[in-house]
Amino acid sequence: MKVLAALSGGVDSAVAAARAVDAGHEVVGVHMALSRSRAQHRNGSRGCCSIEDASDARRAADVLGIPYYVWDLSEEFEETVVADFLSEYEAGRTPNPCVRCNEHIKFAALLDRGLALGFDAVCTGHYARIVERAGPAGTVRELHRAVDLAKDQSYVLAVMGRARLERSIFPLGDVASKDVVRAEAAARGLSVSAKPDSYDICFVADGDTRGFLSARLGERPGEIVDTSGAVVGSHRGAYGFTVGQRKGLGIQVPAADGAPRYVLETDPAANRVVVGPAALLSVDEIVGGDVVWLGEDPSSLTDVTVQVRAHGEPVAADVELDGGALLARLASPLRGIAAGQSIVVYHGSRVLGQASITSARRARSGGVGCSGGSLSRAPR
C-alpha cells in the first residue's frame, strides 16, 4: 500500500513510520505545520509542531530513507480546532482540542488530502489497535484500546468514524510500553529516542489556558455566586472556569461550614459562575449529541462501559442511542462532568462510539442499579 506517515517530530510517529516501512508499504512522511508562527519554539515538553519538531521529523525521515514533506495546515487548524476551543469555552462548555484535532486535522484534512493524492492509508503514532474480524458482509475493522493502557488513545480517536477507520494504521497499538518504543527508536538510530513527550494543549505552549482565553476573548468581569444566588466573589470571564474546578476561583466569602467549593455551572448568558459543595458534582445520567458510531447493532451486548476523560476509569452503564442523541445511565456516579467533553462507549476493549456531552445530572439519590451495563438500542 501507499501509506502517508504523519511525522510529528516525536518518537512515537517516527517508530510508527519505521514499522510501516518494515511491513513493506511504500511510505512517504509528512509533517503538519499547525502554528501560524513559523518562529515558534518548543517549551520543554509543552507545545508541538514547532520548528524543532519539523527538523526532528525531517531527520527521522532521512534515517528511514523515505520522502519527506511539510504541509501547511495552520489555516485549517485555526479555523477548526482553535476556533472550536474558543467558541466552546465562550458558550460555557469545556472542549477537548485533541478530539477536535483528530477529527478535523489528522483524520480529515490529512487523510482526505492523502487519498486525493493516491495514498491508500494514513499511519500515525497513536496508541490504539485495529482488529479485523469476519462479518456477514466481509471483513470488519474494529477500533480497540492499546495493549499499553497507560498510553491508550482510543478515547480521542473514537470520533474518526467508520470510513476513516478503514484507511488508518496504528503500528504502536500492540507495544507493551513507551519504554519499548524508545528502545526501538534508539536501536534504529533515531535521534528522537529520548525526546520528552508533549502534553497539555499544543497551541497553549505555556500552559496558561485562562490567559490564552482572555487574550482571545477579552476580559468580561462578572459575579461568582453560590447555589442560593449570593455573591461570593468575582471573575474576569466566565469562560475561564470549568465544572469541577476548585483552584483559582478567587472566592472572597468562605462557605459557612468551611468546606471547599467547586464550580458547578458556568452561565455565559449571565456571565456568572455558580459554585457549591463537592456533593453536588456527582451525576449518574449523561446526555450526548453529535454521535459517531463505529459498531454494528449492539443491542445484545452486555458489559458495556463508558469513559468520560482521556485516561479516566471506565464505568458500567446502560446506554441508549436514539437518533442523534445518546443517554448513559451510570452504574456508579461520576464527579465533575462538563458539557463539551466526549463520552466514549466501549465493549471490553472495543470502541463502539462516542458523543459530545450536552448535559449531566443526578437522577437518583442512591445507586443506579445496573451492574454489568447493556446497550438497549442503536440508530438504524
99 DSSP 8-state letter: H
* R_g of the chain, CA atoms, integer Å: 22
Residue 208 CA to residue 213 CA, distance in Å, equals 9
Dig out the grid coordinates for 257 from the structure.
461550614
Asked if 85 contacts 77 with a C-beta cutoff of 8 angstroms, the reply is no
Asked if 312 contacts 299 with a C-beta cutoff of 8 angstroms, the reply is no
Q: Which of 361, 293, 366 is nearest to 328 (CA)?
A: 361
AA letter at 74: S
Helices within the chain (DSSP H only): 11-22, 51-64, 74-77, 83-90, 97-101, 110-116, 154-157, 162-165, 178-187, 209-217
Q: Is 169 exposed, middle or buried (0-12, 13-18, 19+ CB in 10 A)?
A: buried
Active site residue 48: no
One-character DSSP codes across 292-316: EE-SS--TT-BSEEEE-STTPPPEE
DSSP three-state, residue 68: strand
Dig out the grid coordinates for 234 from the structure.
468575582
Asked if 197 contacts 177 with a C-beta cutoff of 8 angstroms, the reply is no
Active-site pick, 48, 101, 123, 370: 101
Dig out the grid coordinates for 264 from the structure.
458547578
Active site residue 370: no
Active site residues: 101, 202
